[in-house]
Structure 1
Amino acid sequence: MTADVWLPIPADEIEGLPEGPNYRFWNGGPDFPADPADCAYYVVPYMKPSDVGVRPLPRMTSVEVVQTLSAGIDHVQPGLKHLRPGVRLCNARGVHEASTAELTLTLILASLRGIPDFVRAQDRGAWLGGFRPALADKTVLIVGYGSIGAAIEDRLAPFELARVARVARSARTTARGPVHPLTDLPALLPEADVVVLSTPLTDATRGLVDGAFLARMKDGALLVNVARGPVVDTKALLAEVETGRITAALDVTDPEPLPADHPLWRAPGVLVTPHVGGPTSAFMPRAKRLLVDQLTRFVNREPLRNVILTTGA
């Protein structure tokens, strides 16, 4: 194989890449490393704006695979219309589960135990005691039970929860218990103390957490979003948190980045982190392992992992 493979990580920093392709390094800079028409396998630059990642797609007339290094694919979908039929789009399943699940637990525990209040009190030199909610004995609802949702439940297991409820696009059974369809949300929401959003952004989930969804959450419940900002209707969320009826911990927002003057920054009971679920020290070794495995399969014409869709299908 002599086709080009575009990587956002220099090839000499990835041990075990198969021989054959011409590896080209491109991490979203203004100049392309080679003619996009010669690219057969395109790994989209990580944590770049959508317009950067899709920029070469109209000229990639020979591309066979578009590979993201993110769990979501919404940032590349606008460019898929430029590709010929038969191009496989693969995501980074297996790369972000550990980091995102860790952050989810961090957000839940920090919010329930009042860590932001303690940090602010420390800045003032104030000793802020008192009782706080525990995660123990709570019911947690995970909305979006894919590999990240399952990883979140794995890490919830030691916390003596009363119950974990799981929701995905369609019903199924897992070793941990049943997964409910989205249509069961109205019945499940009033029972949940913590609602975790880990669903991909699709037409079905955009605006899923609207006024009606939030109104069904119990008083005092915590909403945690580690999915995508537009899954939540920001205006509807603000209306709820500003009353103090529910709280929220958000790693993703709509808009994003959140402008400095946005009311979410100062809304009571809201903890915001700047979309840091994936970028940790765990990312690079897992991303490299994924690329070595996928490209070895590609060179040997073996089935690829994580194929989300095929253009024209």
Structure 2
Amino acid sequence: MPSTPPAHRRPRAALAMGADAAAAVLPPDSLAALAGVCTLAPQPALDDFTTGTARAVLADTEVLVTGWGCPPIHAGVLAAAPALRAVVHTAGSVRGHVTEACWDRGIEVSSAAAAANALPVAEYTVAMILLSGKRVLERARDYRATRARDAWLATPPGVGNYRRTVGILSASLIGRRVIELLRPYDLRVLLHDPYVTDTEATALGAHPVGLPALFAGSDVVSVHTPLLPSTTGLVDRELLTSMRPDAVLVNTARGAVVDQEALTDVLRAERIRAVLDVTDPDPLPEDHPLWDCDNALITPHLAGSQGNELRRLADLAVGEVARWAAGDGFSHPVRRERLAFLA
């Protein structure tokens, strides 16, 4: 099994990601910081492990710093990388590139999903929960069209965020962060997660409920479950039609967790509202009827790290490589036994 290097030795590292990802996540100053804690292979980043250049780099690489666009690290790649002992991922899920062969060889894995990429997703979710409660987008659209302010004292009592009920589907990394960020507000938080005990849910600050109760009893349901065979289509027609009139579905997880056809029908009937940062398929076809639903806000994956938030990913990667090089292990390890519960 690969072992952590002797303390304070500079491990040999290489970048493995798409060129666009490398440029966005690791600008020159971040590359310089990374090069300060390891011996970094010359650029460009590897996006194809089959080339002669890649094979030469892999031959003595101990740490791969990966990102969006990294090819799968399968047994053939590992055969060309006999010294590889760790993968530090600068994005979210490692499912696309860390294969069973990596786990079998004992490669240590770290991901920015928990400490870095989960935070902006949770912030986006909380913002959308609060904005939807005030109906900000709809009221701003009406204001633009009429140039007339609504009579604020006559605002319907269903508008606002006082004592609204927010349902969280899955206490994932992001789901837990959303619950934490909601604590200062006068909101009641429900949680459904079959892997979380009632005691654990209460400690998080949420009231545990069954799946039907979550959808029937919430003003907003926010989806944070990973896409697994068992969760594909989990949010089905029955659950969607059970939601309170004018309730809001927020999905920042994966589009396929929700039955897209059923959601489209419910939205077109104007029974509920939705905030969708992900869809199925993703992106939606240009002629998809969801585009014509005024009660659906569809955003192009804005929730995850973008712009200056990418710096958080770079900083975490540099810190993880530094810790590993010093023999301290990763602060944000990904465990093989937890893969079934991760996005």
Q: Post-superposition shift, 1:138?
A: 0.7
The answer for the alignment partner of 1:166 in structure 2 is: 191
The answer for the alignment partner of 1:101 in structure 2 is: 122
- Equivalent runs, 1:267-278 vs 2, <5 Å: 267-278=293-304
- Equivalent runs, 1:45-194 vs 2, <5 Å: 45-46=67-68, 52-54=69-71, 58-61=76-79, 62=81, 63-74=84-95, 76=96, 80-81=99-100, 83=102, 85-92=105-112, 93-121=114-142, 124=145, 126-127=147-148, 129=150, 131=155, 133-161=159-187, 163-172=188-197, 173=200, 175-177=203-205, 180=208, 184-194=210-220
Structure 2 residue identity aligned to 1:283? E
Number of matched residues?
302
Structure 2 residue identity aligned to 1:210? D
8 Å CA contact retained: 2:65, 2:90: yes
Structure 2 residue identity aligned to 1:127? A
Using a 3 Å threshold, how does the CA distance of structure 1 residues 193 and 87 change in structure 2: closer, same or farther?
same
Using a 3 Å threshold, how does the CA distance of structure 1 residues 179 and 287 change in structure 2: closer, same or farther?
farther
Between structures 1 and 2, the one with greater strand share: 1
- The TM-score with structure 1 as length reference comes to 0.81
8 Å CA contact retained: 2:73, 2:99: no
- The TM-score with structure 2 as length reference comes to 0.75
Using a 3 Å threshold, how does the CA distance of structure 1 residues 121 and 26 change in structure 2: closer, same or farther?
farther
Q: Post-superposition shift, 1:128?
A: 5.8
Structure 2 residue identity aligned to 1:153? I
Using a 3 Å threshold, how does the CA distance of structure 1 residues 19 and 67 change in structure 2: closer, same or farther?
closer
8 Å CA contact retained: 2:166, 2:222: yes
8 Å CA contact retained: 1:27, 1:45: no
1:44 and 2:66 aligned:
yes
Using a 3 Å threshold, how does the CA distance of structure 1 residues 186 and 88 change in structure 2: closer, same or farther?
farther
8 Å CA contact retained: 2:30, 2:315: no
Q: Which one is further off, 145-154 or 191-200?
A: 145-154
- Corresponding residue SS for 2:250: strand
Q: Post-superposition shift, 1:303?
A: 2.5
Using a 3 Å threshold, how does the CA distance of structure 1 residues 150 and 220 change in structure 2: closer, same or farther?
same
- Corresponding residue SS for 2:115: coil
Using a 3 Å threshold, how does the CA distance of structure 1 residues 267 and 288 change in structure 2: closer, same or farther?
same
Between structures 1 and 2, the one with greater helix share: 2
1:218 and 2:239 aligned:
no
Using a 3 Å threshold, how does the CA distance of structure 1 residues 53 and 127 change in structure 2: closer, same or farther?
farther
Q: Which runs of 5+ in 2 are unaligned?
A: 1-9, 17-21
User: Deviation string for 1:224-281 (max 9, x for gaps)?
Assistant: 0111222112112112111111111111111112232222111241111111112345
Using a 3 Å threshold, how does the CA distance of structure 1 residues 195 and 2 change in structure 2: closer, same or farther?
closer
The answer for the alignment partner of 1:260 in structure 2 is: 286
8 Å CA contact retained: 2:38, 2:321: no
8 Å CA contact retained: 1:44, 1:53: yes
Structure 1 residue identity aligned to 2:116? V
Q: Post-superposition shift, 1:217?
A: 2.3
8 Å CA contact retained: 2:192, 2:214: no
User: Deviation string for 1:103-122 (max 9, x for gaps)?
Assistant: 11222233333333344445
% same residue: 27
1:227 and 2:290 aligned:
no
The answer for the alignment partner of 2:311 in structure 1 is: 285
1:199 and 2:233 aligned:
no
Say which of 5, 29, 44 aligns to 2:14: 5
Find the aligned partners of 1:153 and 1:178 in 2 and give their Cα distance: 7
8 Å CA contact retained: 2:122, 2:177: yes
The answer for the alignment partner of 1:49 in structure 2 is: none
Say which of 232, 238, 241 aligns to 2:267: 241
Using a 3 Å threshold, how does the CA distance of structure 1 residues 297 and 59 change in structure 2: closer, same or farther?
same
Q: Which runs of 5+ in 1 are unaligned?
A: 47-51
Q: Which one is further off, 32-41 or 220-229?
A: 32-41
> Pairwise CA RMSD of aligned residues?
3.1
Radius of gyration: which is bigger? 2
The answer for the alignment partner of 2:37 in structure 1 is: 19
